[in-house]
């Protein structure tokens, strides 16, 4: 089965083809530069950029992969969560193709697709625990099958990536600041600056990063840290450490509930963070298990993860009708896939 995947939930337009579980072609257009001057994603601008880019990207994908539109067996598009205007562009394009080519359609949960993308390079293991850490989401899942995810915890306010982006922005680092903070932290001296670990004195698996964001900005203000300050690497290390330790604490708690689970999947843009990857790998090694994160390009939003999730679920017979809705962030995702024989 050849599955076309379309990702347009935020500020990256990604299209890819997956055939029999392998990526047969992928194209990605990042809008980062268009949004950077605003210090964050501007939803209206994002939708217009998706609308401008999606058609030409589809042509480039076909040209590069040598596939013809008629070769596509299934069309998968991100249905949410994300920015509604952006999601609608990808889904409308997917619906038009499904109608025009007379092929089935599947709406994909963006967060599940992030976690399932580990299957592109490794055989997926179930049951497992999944941790999504991105600019918009921080969530823990029990993963029992490709179509059976139970959310165990989520952020009550800001996502982990938001802490990096906003604290970095305050220090004069360009949006999105996570990668630069990760690089700078490698030159930092451990223990010179310390930030609080947020929302751990409770029994639940939820996160709350808004307090850490404020504490980090207050710390940077008090120390006068800007993009050329000599203590910037120490500040970045303190930020990395606070986020990594908080993620490990709650993920450890989730794993305590399921002692037989030995696999942790980690995905989303913040999963590219070297310190967080190491900390989660150590957490799992201590438990005799392993943390699996997709290759770095697959950690960010991309079309391959949607095409792969579409292929995986499509092979099992899951479909949506043309009435499938796009679901913005904050609205529950309907469980409305249809199983065809």
Interacting residues with Zn ion (CB under 5 A): 134, 301
Q: How far is the CB of 138 from Zn ion (least distance, A)?
A: 11
User: Which stretch in 17-25, 69-77, 217-225, 270-278 sits in contact with ligand KG4 by CB under 6 A?
Assistant: 270-278
Total H helices, total E strands in the chain: 11, 12
Binding of ligand KG4 at residue 291 (CB under 6 A)?
Answer: no
Helix (H) or strand (E) holding 306: helix 303-315
| 268 binds ligand KG4 per the rule CB under 6 A | yes
Separation between Cα atoms, residue 53 and residue 77, nearest integer Å: 15
Which of 290, 304, 291, 263 shows the shortest CA–CA distance to 114? 304
Among 119, 136, 289, 303, binds ligand KG4 (CB under 6 A): 136
End-to-end CA distance of the chain: give it in Å, rounded.
15
Angstrom distance (rounded) from CA 260 to CA 245: 23
CB under 6 A: which stretch of 58-66, 120-128, 134-142, 278-286 binds ligand KG4? 134-142
Q: Give Cβ neighbours of residue 56 (< 8 Å, ≥ 6 apart).
A: none
182 lines the binding site for ligand KG4 (CB under 6 A)? yes
311 binds, among ligand KG4, Zn ion, none (CB under 5 to 8 A by kind): none
Question: Looking at 18-26, 173-181, 206-214, 246-254, which segment touches ligand KG4 (CB under 6 A)?
Answer: 173-181
Q: If binding is defined by CB under 6 A, does position 49 make contact with ligand KG4?
A: no
Nearer to ligand KG4 among residue 128 and residue 138 (C-beta): 138
Q: Does 14 bind ligand KG4 (CB under 6 A)?
A: no
Using CB under 6 A as the binding rule, the residues of this chain from 299 to 328 that contact ligand KG4 are 300-301
Measured in whole angstroms, the distance separating CA 83 from the mean position of its chain's CA atoms is 14
- Sign of the alpha-carbon dihedral angle for 122, 123, 125, 126: positive
188 touches ligand KG4 (CB under 6 A): no
Tell me how far apart the alpha carbons of residues 218 and 166 are, in angstroms, rounded to a whole number: 12
Q: Residue numbers of the site for ligand KG4 (CB under 6 A)?
A: 10, 134-136, 161, 164-165, 176-179, 182, 268-270, 272-273, 300-301
């Amino acid at each position: 089965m050849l599955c076309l995947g379309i990702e347009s939930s935020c500020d990256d337009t990604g299209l890819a083809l997956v055939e029999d579980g392998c990526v047969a072609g992928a194209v990605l257009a990042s809008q980062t530069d268009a949004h950077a001057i605003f210090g964050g994603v501007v939803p209206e601008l994002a939708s217009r950029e998706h609308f401008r880019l999606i058609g030409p990207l589809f042509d480039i994908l076909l040209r590069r992969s040598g596939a013809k539109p008629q070769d596509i067996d299934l069309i998968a598009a991100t249905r949410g969560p994300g920015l509604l205007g952006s999601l609608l562009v990808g889904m409308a394009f997917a619906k038009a193709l499904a109608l025009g080519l007379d092929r089935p359609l599947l709406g994909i949960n963006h967060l599940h697709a992030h976690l399932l993308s580990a299957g592109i390079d490794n055989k997926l293991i179930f049951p497992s625990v999944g941790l999504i850490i991105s600019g918009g989401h921080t969530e823990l899942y029990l993963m029992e099958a490709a179509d059976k995810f139970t959310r165990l915890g989520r952020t009550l306010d800001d996502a982990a990536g938001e802490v990096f982006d906003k604290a970095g922005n305050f220090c004069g680092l360009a949006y999105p600041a996570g990668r630069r903070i990760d690089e700078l932290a490698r030159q930092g001296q451990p223990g010179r600056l310390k930030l609080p670990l947020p929302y751990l004195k409770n029994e639940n698996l939820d996160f709350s990063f808004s307090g850490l964001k404020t504490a980090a900005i207050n710390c940077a203000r008090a120390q006068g840290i800007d993009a050329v300050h000599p203590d910037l690497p120490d500040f970045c290390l303190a930020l990395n450490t606070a986020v990594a330790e908080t993620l490990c604490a709650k993920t450890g708690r989730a794993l305590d509930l399921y002692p037989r689970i030995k696999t942790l999947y980690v995905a989303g843009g913040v999963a590219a963070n070297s310190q967080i990857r190491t900390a989660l790998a150590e957490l799992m090694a201590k438990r005799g298990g392993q943390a699996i994160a997709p290759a770095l390009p697959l950690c960010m939003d991309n079309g391959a993860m949607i095409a792969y999730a579409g292929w995986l679920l499509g092979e099992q017979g899951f479909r949506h009708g043309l009435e499938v809705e796009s679901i913005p962030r904050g609205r529950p995702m309907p469980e409305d896939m249809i199983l065809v024989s």
